[in-house]
Each structure stands twice: as C-alpha cells, then as structure tokens.
Structure 1
C-alpha cells in the first residue's frame, strides 16, 4: 500500500500541496483531476521523490520513502516508474534503446555509455513493444514516431523497470482523442493484467470516469473529492474545478478520450490503433 500522511509542499510562500492524506491499495488505478495549478503534478513528483516533501510522510509497504537517499532512493525510483507528458525519450536513439534505458539504475556506467545490452534484455524490450502495438518501430529513431507512439514507448520504458507503481503525469495532454484513448487503454490493461498500481493526472471527467476505478479531485493543493466514477457528479466537479472551470472539465475537445463513439471497456491498445481516426 502507498500511504501519504499529511503531506505538504511549499515553494517559498506558495503552498502547492496542502496537508494531503490518502492511501492507495496495491493494484488500484487512480485518476487525479483538477484545474491547472491544483497541485496534481507536484503530488506525483513528491511520490517519486523528484522533489521532497516540506512536511508529512510518504510510505510504501511500510518503508518511509520520504527520507530515502543514495541507492535506496534509486531503488524506489525504479520501483515507482514515472511517465511524463513530454515523453522524455532520447530522440536520436532507436526505440529499443529508449526502452532499455528503463534499466539504467541497474547498469554499469561503461555498459550504458557504449549502449551494450544482453540479448535477453533486448528480447524483453521487443516483447513489451509488441504488447503495446509499436514493435514494428523498434529500429526507428524515437523522433520518427508520432506523439501517441512515443508515449507508448515511454510506457514500455516504464514497464522495463518492472515497477510496483506507475505514475503518469498528464500522459495524454498533448495527444489527439484517438491516441489518448490508446494510451489510456494501455495503462488500464497494465493495471488490470499485471496488478501494477497506476496513478495518473488527468484533465477531463470523461477520461477519469472511463478508465479509473477511483478518482481524487484536487483544488488549491487540497484533496476535495475522493470517490468512484459514479460519485463524480456535476456538483462534485464544481467543488473540484470551481464554477469557472466546469466548461474545461466537461470539454471533449481538450485532453479527452472521447471519439464520439461508444466506449469499449476492454479493447486492447493494439486493436485500438487500428480504429479509424
């Protein structure tokens, strides 16, 4: 279980995350929603320890990850994989090499510099790419892929770490609805098939309701909603986004997975790619 106990993060006089206490059981898929500046990204970055907490404690399986240093911190960041909106791939490298970089924490510096990988690791990377429907691009440079394909490569890199938790920070914010749906379906398949805990920041309500079993709403750094998709009513959305933010929250044109087609809850990501745009 992942536990946050009275977690706060300040930047100078600004409180980005304010006294957050939540528990996430193993294997749950959680969507974190809220307007820009609500504290969603800061929350995920504290969990991964990209930034430190100002107050409070973050624990996983009984270990206080808030105080980890050195190799123990690197081990946690291996177990808690991070996926970013900007993909964070090495654009000049081929796709397989980008996926293999998910293993850098366990590699020697010399082997990394010369890009030398054991055959079994390369085969595993290709298997993960096949699972995500992008294996045909394995030998291409990352820069040659579309945004949706690059995000799936980033997911493959995260899976290469063999993580216990995946944190996805606005993973579909720069994608069109079709590719957004493919990426969200891939994350949900990983959550359900592998039992990996997934926590993802999202903007629109249709995406959170469709893919997440639990939704946490944040406003001004505080958790103001914590419940299931059916509980995410318009009144609850008003509490999360404020009256002025409701239009964006319900918009299907911005960071949404709505294609104007009936949702199919368990279609694999590789099949979704074949859907007409």
Structure 2
C-alpha cells in the first residue's frame, strides 16, 4: 500500500533523511521515534509533499507520490492529512469553522471567500466533533479551548478531508499526560474504526508501545529499527537515541501513576 524506496532528503551539505526504505502493506498505526534532528518530521513532510525528496521514490497503491505536481499533488495532500504539534488552527475563528477548513481543497474560490459551507458539511463537522467528545465547544473560538481540546479540533479538521492516511507530527509534545492519552486514544480509535493508516512522530517510548502496531526508530536520518512495539526494549531504545546506560524512559513517560480510567472517561475529564 505505502512504500518508501531509498528516500533521501538533503539540505545543502546536511542529510536529514538517508536512504529510508520501508513498506506498509495494510492499514496500521505506526510510531516513529528518535531524538530531535533524527529526520522524523522530514520523513512525514516528504510523504505529505510539504517538502520534496532529493532522491528515491515514495509510492502509494502504485501512485508515484514523489512525481506529483499541481492539482495531482494537491489531491494527494487531501488524501494524506497532516496534524501538527502546534495545532495550526485559526485562534479567533469558531471551532466548527476550523474543522470545516478541512474541505477547502474541494471548495470554490467564491465559497471560500465568503465562508459559505453546505449544510451537509456543517452537520458532518459537528458529527466528527461529537465523535471526538468536543461537540459542545463547536461555537467557541478555538483560542478558548485547552491544548488537548485544540489538538482534537485539529484531528477533526483532518478527518473532514476523509483521508486515507493521517500523519501526526509530535501530536502530544505540548500536552500534559492526561490530554496526551486522550489524543493518542483518539488517533488509535480512528485507525481501528475507520481502517485508516496513522503515522505519528512520538517522543515517548511508552506511548509508542501502548498505541502503535509498529515502531520505526530513526537515528541521524537513517532507519535503525523497524519492528513490533514489544521488541522496543530499553537496550534498543538506547541504540536509537545514541544514549548510554544512564538513559531512563521514566523521564519522558506519559503514564499516569493512578489506575488509568477508560478512554471515554479520559475524554470527559480532558473536556472539562
């Protein structure tokens, strides 16, 4: 379904991604881990075509993604939605309008200028917000929401595109452990219930193990680990991060010390 074949990205004399190769043959949730500067974000940006690969080929269902230009490239980007660490919402705009921005790629210039949306799209946006547990915030300005709620609005906007792949670039990096778990469970539910591939750059090993079907580890632009979450041992993590024996996962854990409530309860708490 998705294939990276010796994909490389260079910036001047620096190699951000070095001959990355892997195949995803069915929808799954994949976590990409590695220290800052390992090439994780660049990898996602090449897949979404926010940046061009210097060499190599990215293909999806036989489509050469790296060769797309113009309208074909924009069409691909609508099928490969991106969620960012900083949410990228319009702060003073209401929540439902931010979600409806996920339809901009298929709207006319006139309707975009006058902020006109079909009733069908508005109902769908509210249904998606309901699914993510934040429908009651639909009329509020995005800036009035908590960080966890804003990230779920960003997820809702991505779902409005009805993409085949969702990319999440450090989606929980700025969130507290409670909201981090709510956001990750939302992404997991989207994968399981919709059958969509979700690829997330993560900075906590426990999160990768808990929510992902597969983990890819990057170091200095190269893929140095590709396997099941249970194979991601502390020793393997040290190799991925280039750390010594003093490396401790506890410093980056998103675990909540008390017994975790059910995901629905987590969502309700985070919405308060």
Which TM bucket (shorter chain)? over 0.9
Q: In the alignment, does 2:245 pair up with 1:251?
A: no
Query: In the aligned structure 2, how far is the partner of 1:88 from the partner of 1:244?
Result: 36
> 1:2-50 CA deviation, whole Å, 9 max, x = no partner?
1000000000000000000011123110000000010000000000000
Count of aligned residue pairs for this structure pair: 271
The answer to whether the 8 Å contact 1:215/1:225 transfers is yes
> 1:209-262 CA deviation, whole Å, 9 max, x = no partner?
0000100000000000001111001111111001259736x135x4x4311134
The answer to whether the 8 Å contact 1:238/1:246 transfers is no
Query: In the aligned structure 2, how far is the partner of 1:246 from the partner of 1:201?
Result: 24
> Structure 1 residues 261 and 25, CA, compared in 2 at 3 Å: closer, same or farther?
farther
Aligned to 1:48: 48
Q: In the alignment, does 2:72 pair up with 1:72?
A: yes
The answer to whether the 8 Å contact 2:17/2:39 transfers is yes
Q: SS of the residue aligned with 1:4?
A: strand
Structure 1 residue 271: deviation in Å?
A: 2.9
Query: In the aligned structure 1, how far is the partner of 2:33 from the partner of 2:141?
Result: 33
Structure 1 residue 190: deviation in Å?
A: 0.2
Aligned to 1:273: 267
Query: In the aligned structure 1, how far is the partner of 2:45 from the partner of 2:246?
Result: 26
Query: In the aligned structure 1, how far is the partner of 2:216 from the partner of 2:109?
Result: 40
The answer to whether the 8 Å contact 1:204/1:251 transfers is no
Structure 1 residue 275: deviation in Å?
A: 4.4
Where do 5+ consecutive residues of structure 2 fail to align?
A: none
Single out whichever of 147-156 and 236-245 deviates more from structure 2: 236-245
Structure 1 residue 274: deviation in Å?
A: 3.0
Superposition RMSD in Å: 1.6
Query: In the aligned structure 1, how far is the partner of 2:21 from the partner of 2:258?
Result: 37
Query: In the aligned structure 2, how far is the partner of 1:263 from the partner of 1:194?
Result: 25
The answer to whether the 8 Å contact 2:238/2:247 transfers is no
Q: In the alignment, does 2:126 pair up with 1:132?
A: no
> Structure 1 residues 119 and 67, CA, compared in 2 at 3 Å: closer, same or farther?
same
Structure 1 residue 173: deviation in Å?
A: 0.2
Q: In the alignment, does 2:258 pair up with 1:261?
A: yes
Query: In the aligned structure 1, how far is the partner of 2:223 from the partner of 2:186?
Result: 27
> Structure 1 residues 3 and 246, CA, compared in 2 at 3 Å: closer, same or farther?
farther
Query: In the aligned structure 1, how far is the partner of 2:78 from the partner of 2:107?
Result: 12
> Structure 1 residues 144 and 245, CA, compared in 2 at 3 Å: closer, same or farther?
farther
> Structure 1 residues 208 and 118, CA, compared in 2 at 3 Å: closer, same or farther?
same
Q: In the alignment, does 2:102 pair up with 1:109?
A: no
Q: SS of the residue aligned with 1:261?
A: coil
Query: In the aligned structure 2, how far is the partner of 1:188 from the partner of 1:260?
Result: 21
The answer to whether the 8 Å contact 1:26/1:196 transfers is no
| Structure-to-structure mapping, 1:1-277, within 5 angstroms | 1-244=1-244, 247=247, 250-252=249-251, 254=252, 256-263=253-260, 267-268=262-263, 270-275=264-269
Where do 5+ consecutive residues of structure 1 fail to align?
A: none
